[in-house]
Amino acid sequence: MNSRKQPTIRDIAKLAGVSYQTVSLVINDKPGVSEKTRREIARLMDELGYRPNRAAQMLTTNRSHTLELIVVDVNYGGRLADSTKNMAHAAKEAGYSLLVSESTSQGLDAALESAAARLIDGVILYAPRLQMEDDQLQRICRGIPMVRRDYVPSSRLAWVGFDQVHAARLATEHLLSLGHRQIAAIPPTSALHNGYWRHATIRSVLHEHDLKLVAVAEGDYSMRSGYEGVKHILASRQPFTGLIVGTDSMAQGALRALHEAGLRIPQEVSVVSFDNSELSLYTEPPLTTVEFRFIKQDELSIKYLLELIAEPEVELHHRILVPTLLVRESTREVAS
């Protein structure tokens, strides 16, 4: 055989003394071939450097060994790059590739139609603002297995997310345990699922103690929104000793605004945030924060999706991750 010629499936079949249909069964991991024959065909493919025609395989198996992450209506990326890398690695470990695409809620139908046309095996949907009924979302998925990487307790579909109610309760009860009764907050915008649950839970926990938020300003995950949120709260002239901020990055901006106003942290204002990003260790002072182990969410989302691909009839459920509170130097007991 000419060494410069790419070997074909018929070349492998001839050398193995079997039909090309048998080689095809081995390539596509189909039953009906003895283990001895499988090993011999695999040996020949490796020896000759045979590479299966992926396009032909897709047509034969309706499988592409490709997953797709569809990001919907995300205005501020934050740590999305890290999550994408984590999910791509988890997919690769399982023998899959991960594509990433961006969409709006209005364009999601077309994005999923495109995924179906490309024989995408499964979709991770990151849509932190998406308000869509389960039946409609299932319909536009066109049978593609899908896992949402969001906290959406109202949905009966498959999703993986951190318990945002528990997270907000941890932050609020921590300040209350330190004696704070005048508490302000800069949660993420209520248009985001996480923002809605955190904002509602903070108010609910305070209500349990016959308290109310003294001031509130919603943010968008950016440092600037934390900075401007503090400016807004200070302009209200409502005194506060505790501040709950939606993320560590927002808290960075909030700390800057508090420092500019001459307020000492934690002596005059205790600050608690969310995420436990690397940033939280290097702020001044280091942040008390609710830890979300995002790498666990990323890996579990891929794992769950692969389970749905392998067993399409499995009953859909939620996989809820429980956050923890890390107490550092940005909070202390209220001054008496």
Q: In the predicted model, what is the mean pLDDT of residues 304-331?
A: 92
Answer yes or no: is pLDDT of 303 > 90. yes
Note the pLDDT of residue 11. 83
Please list the alpha-helical segments (H only) found in the chain: 9-16, 20-27, 35-48, 54-61, 80-93, 108-117, 134-141, 164-177, 193-208, 223-235, 248-260, 294-310
Query: Tens digits of per-residue pLDDT, 72-107?
Result: 998 776 778 889 999 999 999 988 899 999 999 999
Note the pLDDT of residue 218. 95
> How many CA atoms, within 13 angstroms, populate the side-chain half-sphere of residue 171?
38
Note the pLDDT of residue 1. 41
CATH class of 9-61: mainly alpha
* Higher pLDDT pick, 15 / 184: 184
**20 pLDDT tier (thresholds 50, 70, 90):** confident
Q: How deeply is 48 buried, as exposed, middle or buried, from its count of CB atoms within 10 A (0-12, 13-18, 19+)?
A: middle
Note the pLDDT of residue 5. 62
Instruction: Give the angle subtended at the CA of 96 by the CAs of 93 and 101, to the nearest 5°.
Output: 120
CATH class of 164-292: alpha beta
Please list the alpha-helical segments (H only) found in 62-157: 80-93, 108-117, 134-141
Give the other-Cβ count within 10 Å of 57's Cβ. 16
Of 19-33, 46-60, 98-112, minimum mean pLDDT range: 46-60
Q: What CA–CA distance (Å, rounded) separates 286 from 9?
A: 61
Residue extents of the structural domains in the chain:
9-61, 66-162+294-322, 164-292
Decide which of 3.40.50.1820, 3.40.50.300, 3.30.70.2080, 3.40.50.2300 is the CATH code for 66-162+294-322.
3.40.50.2300
The average confidence (pLDDT) of the chain is 90
Note the pLDDT of residue 2. 43
- pTM, whole model, 2 decimals? 0.80
As a three-state string, the secondary structure of 161-221 is: EECHHHHHHHHHHHHHHCCCCCEEEECECCCCHHHHHHHHHHHHHHHHCCCCCCEECCECC
Whole-angstrom CA distances from 178 to 104, 208, 241 are 43, 16, 11
Q: What CA–CA distance (Å, rounded) separates 280 from 66?
A: 35
Asked if the domains at 66-162+294-322 and 164-292 fall in one CATH topology, the answer is yes
